[in-house]
Structure 1
Amino acid sequence: MGHIAAIGEPLRILGLASAGVLLRPAEDPAAARAAWHALPPDVHLVLLTPSAADALGPEAADAQERLVAVMPP
């Protein structure tokens, strides 16, 4: 069974930890891209804040190995 990760601003993703989501705080675009590339292979769903999704651009949208969902603004 795969895991769930969240990438984005700490205040936006912090509450997901209580549901067992792997948190990858990212305050800026470079940190979001680094977090994306460092995700373990067993992560099957990634939740992105809108700014993290903007930082990743089509790379996240075109991901074949995992599902990606963008949080509402």
Structure 2
Amino acid sequence: MGRVAAIGEQTRVAGLALAGVTVLVAEEPAAVHRAWQDLPQDVAMVIVTPAAAGALGPTLLESPRPLTAVMPA
């Protein structure tokens, strides 16, 4: 079974750590891209904030792995 990770702004993702989610704080587009590229191999699902989703663009978000979900705005 894989882990769940979250990428995005500190204020939006920090609380997910309480549920065991691997939190990758990324406040700027370049940091979002680095966090995405550095995802551990065992991450099966990534939760991204709307800002992070905008930085990644549709191509990366539509890839089959890892499963990706965008938080509501």
Considering the TM-score relative to the shorter chain, is it more than 0.5? yes
Is the partner of 2:54 in helix, strand or coil?
helix
TM-score, normalisation: structure 2? 0.95
State the alpha-carbon separation in 1 of the partners of residues 35 and 5 from structure 2.
10
Name the amino acid aligned to 1:41. Q
- Indicate the percent of aligned positions where both proteins have the same amino acid: 53
State the alpha-carbon separation in 1 of the partners of residues 63 and 43 from structure 2.
12
Does 2:14 align with 1:14? yes
Name the amino acid aligned to 2:18. S
TM-score, normalisation: structure 1? 0.95
Gaps of 5+ in 1: none
How many residue pairs get aligned? The number is: 73
Give the RMSD, CA atoms, in angstroms. 0.8
Gaps of 5+ in 2: none
